[in-house]
Structure 1
Amino acid sequence: MGFFKDFFERGKFVRSLNSTFLVLVPKKGGSKDLRDYRPISLVGGLYKILAKVLANRLKKVVSKVVSSAQNAFVEGRQILDAALIANEAIDSMLKGDEAGVLCKLDLEKAYDHINWDFLMLVMQKMGFGEKWAGWIRWCISIASFSVLINGSPGGFFQSTRGLRQGDPISPYLFVLGMEALSYLINKAVRGGFLSGCRLRGRGGNGTQVSHLLFANDTLVFCKDSQDQMAILSWLLMWFEAISGLNINLEKSEILPVGSVENAEDGVEERMRKRLALWKRQFISKGGRITLIRSTLASMPIYLMSLMRIPRVVRLRLEKIQRDFLWGGGALEKRPHLVKWDVVRSHKMKGGLGIRNFSFLNRALLCKWSWRFAAERDSFWKLVISSKYGEEEGGWISCEVREGYGVGLWKEIRKEGVLLFKNASFTVGDGRRVKFWKDIWCGNIPLCEVFPSLFAFAVSQDAWVEDCWDYIGDVGGWYPCFSRSFNDWELEAVASLLSILQGKRLNVGMEDRVVWNASKNGSFSVKSLYNTLDSGGAVPFPWRIIWSPCVPTKVGFFCLGSFLGEGPNPRSSQKEGLVSSKQMLLML
């Protein structure tokens, strides 16, 4: 604690604490040029704790000082936000017959080249105090480096620019520096020098999308005119001059806006390339299961998070996993001991716990609907809302009636129905929850619990706030009906008031959506996946078969005998002659 107190007061610490070993990690096989290596910094433990403290404080304010176009290392924003916005923008351009180009820019050795004076100036313009800027300047400027060559360190040397990959504060500082490029592009758009892309909504209004940034990757939307290309090149030259960063022309592209066919084929190609590196004939069944779960099943995650993969593609990806698991392939066919539908189920159901791509795809798409309902000021939500509109309450967007095009939201919106089948609402001020039609009081809507009362309600679409009377210190429930109650309806009225008893509005709180399948009320892909995969349970001695004491190959043998086209033990159990445990003894 004395170290932290001294740094807080003096803004300095011993230079030796910031000594750093550099490890050069090759980016690809057969690396020969120095640019083919990624320098990773191994910083000292005490400094890393200090840098982590500064990073935790810095990330709390980053979202307030950077533009909505930045999606990397900003709290509340995710890597896929930019992909969704870009697809919706291109979809609007194609449907509006607007000619344009998409400039994909990559920065060369971005962390290593950024200028410190430029970074300090940006922080000053953003309103960071001198003390904060002094802390950051000291942390990044006194670092000394020693390159590990064959595991042995060389001599130490100082740097004059750049940020260290491996330093906890580096990502946030880089985001602050990239805000200068975002500012230049925004100023050019406001001045009419760059057009960007306007996503026009149903009401005629729209949202302007001119560029998107994720760390050192940048997308810029503009018209396919020589003037705008010249303006953009001048902007990039100015940014290079003041920041020290350079555009990597080899990796940068200018793409004409158009539809892309078979985008999902890249996943299958990456799977096959990865399999080519594995010598599966030397990998045990347990090792294959581990590789499928950790690698093959994870490769399509980003794709499935944005679009519904076609059935034929899903079957091809599953076939790759099947062939790898059972040892077959294109040249050698071997029998599969267990049906694939069983293999994809949970271990307690007799499966191997491999993910079902169909269920996982639906759960990942449904996450967007949850974020739409739970988030308020996200830029991606603003884009979707302005393009498609919102339903009453703002929990979900309006249904997409246009053709598919290259937009992604139409399929995502369809899965929103699945979300609200397993969600309810916690009432705050009652302005966004419908009294009769939403699930907020019990497990089903009040209109289904009391259909006779709902039939003669004054407003069947009334909000919860409309049925609350603020008269007096406490207030009370006063749902309005179009006529007086009959004698046989009084019991239903009493039941309604009994359900409402103890519930009240909280004026200072907003209404929020609650996911019923989790204990804390927050949505998770895992919980929805388990909900979709909840059926088909069979009695299966999984704790015995997959016990840590049982070798994996024995477990596979037992699994095949229990669930496969097995010989005598399986048929004996089917006939009821032996129990599960007796069957294991027979094996």
Structure 2
Amino acid sequence: MVCNAVRAFFIKGYLPNGVKATALALIPKHSNASSLADFRPIALCNTIYKIIAKVLALRIKNFMPLIIRCNQSGFIKARVSTDNILLAKELLSYTRNVRGIKYFCAKLDIRKAFDTVSREFLLKRMIQKGFPSRYVGWIKACINNVNFSLVINGALEGYFNTTAGLRQGCPLSPYLFCIVMDALSNLLDDGDFRGINVDGFALSHLLYADEVLVFGEATVENCIKLANILNVFADTSGLKVNLEKSSILLPRNMSNSEDICQALNIYNITHLITYLGVPLSFNRLRISDFLPLMEKATKKLSGWFANLLSFAGRLQFLKFTIVNSIAYWIRGAIIPKAVIKYFKKISSKFLFFGDLDVGKKLHMLSWEEVCKPKTYGGLGLPSVQALQFAYNCSVILRMYNSDSALSKWLVYRYNSPWKPPLSLASTFWKSVCATAVASRQKFKFKIHDKAPSPFFGITGLIMILSLIGLKVMLGIKPLI
């Protein structure tokens, strides 16, 4: 029956309203939710509909990288969301040292993002992107004339229709939303708005679903252009910027800061913004900026469950909670030594005693021994330094094997991690260069038959190996 229903939809292009009917569960955004604005609606779709939507999503998934600009990293295959964090940090570090031009960074909050998308605009956008009319018809049948009911105390209440929005919980919604947001990328990149443009490298914004980060020259004229673009996008797509929740990051000693805020109608000036959970600033992060991470880790390790876990259980808990949180923050910041010391302290107390309030006691192993691999007598818990080293290696690998905006920027700005870093290079890039030098001695290479250039004698081989860059990666295969 299910297979026949799914097959009938793809043949006739018709979906009954009963199959599209959706229950809305309200999920609190935080623990102290008291008003309707503090809840997020999650769509509970029909099983047959989810099968159909999943099939359509799988068909569009592989084509998304070809039709969506590289600024968007959310829900796109082979794109890494944390690249946006590192790229934003690199751009802020670069613009701080540019002479003669001041830049701003604005974090824009889209009001009720998925719930206010214009369906008519989405369908027109898909036709503009070149989707077949039959596929667009299937999408139209899925998103139009959808009836909703609210789940209240376990029972369904009400039955109402909507004229806009995408369902959060539908497999199709993330991809359709990215198609809509790509229109904003077109307006910013193809219009008169001036973003960061340095000798051929141009970037004006970064997107992760509805998380928008805009970079531009800090002039009143440029900010007026940005405001006009946002208004045009809101009128056509239905996605409006929540100015109260948006914020702007400005360099120090800006004489026209008030005029810029007035042009954008954003008055929340800050020295620090949080993007995808990680703090970003023009300046180097201070220890106080890591307090949210430290408080989060302390709260997780202070729970009553610690007494119920064995030593092995506490070890696994550290691996899959605290270590993962630190590994995520490493994407956008170099962890200060004082913060690393704090994590060693609380992690050691939790692991050996299960209590963060315990006084000075003799630990069975030093933390350096705990962080060693099991083959070397340790417990296999990665240290912060090991996490940083591993992430730096992944950045080097993707620098030569990815066409992401981050890879393009690193190649343009620094050329190669095996060269001495520039004096004005960011702290992170200096860390990457140190990693490249340390890992270079561990490389093993094998010449294979698909090398692009023939090797004549040992002299040519030594010359190629000395480059340790893109040409080597294309012609030399590592022994794995």
- TM norm. shorter chain > 0.5: yes
Measure how far apart 1:42 and its partner are: 1.8
Measure how far apart 1:73 and its partner are: 1.3
CA–CA distance in structure 2, aligned partners of residues 215 and 280 of structure 1: 35
Measure how far apart 1:225 and its partner are: 1.8
Find out whether 1:234 has 2:228 as its counterpart. yes
Residue of structure 1 in register with 2:243 after alignment? 249
Moved more, 56-65 or 39-48: 39-48
Measure how far apart 1:266 and its partner are: 3.9
* SS of residue in 1 equivalent to 2:78: coil
Residue of structure 2 in register with 1:12 after alignment? 14
Instruction: Look up the equivalent residue of 1:261 and give its one-letter code.
Output: L
Instruction: Look up the equivalent residue of 2:434 and give its one-letter code.
Output: K
**Unpaired stretches in structure 1, ≥5 consecutive residues:** 200-204, 391-396, 437-452, 464-509, 518-587
Q: Say if 1:362 and 1:415, in contact at 8 Å, map to a contact too.
A: yes
When Rg is computed on C-alpha atoms for both structures, the one with the higher figure is: 1
Residue of structure 2 in register with 1:101 after alignment? 104
Measure how far apart 1:259 and its partner are: 1.1
**Unpaired stretches in structure 2, ≥5 consecutive residues:** 252-281, 466-472
Which one of the candidate residues 245, 255, 259 is aligned to 2:283?
259
Residue of structure 2 in register with 1:430 after alignment? 451
Find out whether 1:403 has 2:423 as its counterpart. yes
CA–CA distance in structure 2, aligned partners of residues 72 and 21 of structure 1: 26
Measure how far apart 1:273 and its partner are: 3.9
Residue of structure 1 in register with 2:295 after alignment? 269
Cα 1:212–1:341 change in 2 (3 A) is: same
Counterparts in 2 of 1:397-476, with a 5 A limit? 397=417, 399-403=419-423, 406=426, 408-417=428-437, 421-422=442-443, 424=445, 427=448, 429-431=450-452, 435=455, 454=458, 457=459, 461=463
* SS of residue in 2 equivalent to 1:162: coil
Measure how far apart 1:76 and its partner are: 1.9
Cα 1:380–1:405 change in 2 (3 A) is: closer
Q: Say if 1:404 and 1:410, in contact at 8 Å, map to a contact too.
A: no
Which one of the candidate residues 174, 179, 191 is aligned to 2:182?
179
CA–CA distance in structure 2, aligned partners of residues 134 and 384 of structure 1: 42
Which one of the candidate residues 72, 75, 95 is aligned to 2:74?
72
Which one of the candidate residues 345, 350, 354 is aligned to 1:319?
345
Which one of the candidate residues 328, 340, 344 is aligned to 2:367?
340
Q: State, as a whole percentage, how many aligned pairs show the same letter.
A: 30
Measure how far apart 1:184 and its partner are: 0.9
CA RMSD of aligned residues (A): 2.8
Give a deviation string over 1:535-583, Cα, whole Å, max 9, x none. Answer: xxxxxxxxxxxxxxxxxxxxxxxxxxxxxxxxxxxxxxxxxxxxxxxxx
Cα 1:349–1:407 change in 2 (3 A) is: closer
Cα 1:291–1:249 change in 2 (3 A) is: farther
Which one of the candidate residues 194, 211, 216 is aligned to 1:217?
211
Residue of structure 1 in register with 2:391 after alignment? 364
Measure how far apart 1:252 and its partner are: 1.0
Measure how far apart 1:125 and its partner are: 1.1
Which one of the candidate residues 309, 315, 330 is aligned to 2:335?
309
Q: Say if 1:103 and 1:255, in contact at 8 Å, map to a contact too.
A: yes
Find out whether 1:197 has 2:218 as its counterpart. no
Measure how far apart 1:270 and its partner are: 2.5
Cα 1:513–1:6 change in 2 (3 A) is: farther
Moved more, 82-91 or 414-423: 414-423
Instruction: Look up the equivalent residue of 1:364 and give its one-letter code.
Output: Y
Residue of structure 2 in register with 1:159 after alignment? 162
Cα 1:364–1:460 change in 2 (3 A) is: closer
Measure how far apart 1:86 and its partner are: 1.7
Instruction: Look up the equivalent residue of 1:198 and give its one-letter code.
Output: N
CA–CA distance in structure 2, aligned partners of residues 266 and 78 of structure 1: 24
Give a deviation string over 1:506-558, Cα, whole Å, max 9, x none. Answer: xxxx94665645xxxxxxxxxxxxxxxxxxxxxxxxxxxxxxxxxxxxxxxxx
Measure how far apart 1:307 and its partner are: 4.8
Cα 1:116–1:459 change in 2 (3 A) is: closer
Moved more, 126-135 or 265-274: 265-274
TM-score normalised to the size of structure 1? 0.68
Measure how far apart 1:339 and its partner are: 3.3
CA–CA distance in structure 2, aligned partners of residues 426 and 306 of structure 1: 36
CA–CA distance in structure 2, aligned partners of residues 129 and 251 of structure 1: 38
Residue of structure 1 in register with 2:258 after alignment? none
CA–CA distance in structure 2, aligned partners of residues 41 and 231 of structure 1: 37
Counterparts in 2 of 1:513-552, with a 5 A limit? 516-517=479-480
Cα 1:356–1:88 change in 2 (3 A) is: closer
TM-score normalised to the size of structure 2? 0.82
Give a deviation string over 1:126-182, Cα, whole Å, max 9, x none. Answer: 111211111111111243222211222223322211111111111000000001111
